[in-house]
Amino acid sequence: MQVFQAIGGFEREKNYRRFDNISVADWVEEEFPRGLYDLYFLPFAKSSLNAPDTMSVAELMQFFHFYFFGNPEGLAFNGTKDDMGTSLVQPINLLSGQNALVVVS
């Protein structure tokens, strides 16, 4: 769930320091659920005209942060069985609360 914390609580300098030297393709092999990558991250990497083997994880996290949290249509993605609030926002909020992060809506 560190990926959701990093996206939800995106801090440019912190995230770039930690993730900018890792390609999306390498990161998926090490730390990321493959199904989630195939469903969400790969299409977004390609739609932004970035190859997953050259795009950094920091760039992708920044893209997702602004897409999901800065776009009113961002959470209207039909990729989960339940609504996005139940499938994505509530788990992120729960984990954030457990780690003393505050979700501002």
Residue 104 lies inside a defined structural domain of this protein? no
Give residue 17's pLDDT.
92
The answer, as to whether pTM is greater than 0.85, is no
Residue 94 lies inside a defined structural domain of this protein? yes
- Res. 75: pLDDT tops 60: no
Structural domain boundaries, residue 86: 2-98
Total domains in the fold of the chain:
1
Question: 38-72 pLDDT, tens per residue?
Answer: 877 777 767 777 777 888 888 888 887 777 776 65
| Confidence class for position 79, pLDDT limits 50, 70, 90 | low
Determine the residue type at 104. V
Residue 7 lies inside a defined structural domain of this protein? yes
Pairwise CA distance, residues 64 & 66, whole Å? 5
| C-alpha 20, offset from chain centre | 14
Give residue 104's pLDDT.
65
Average pLDDT along the chain: 74
Give residue 21's pLDDT.
93
Residue 105 lies inside a defined structural domain of this protein? no
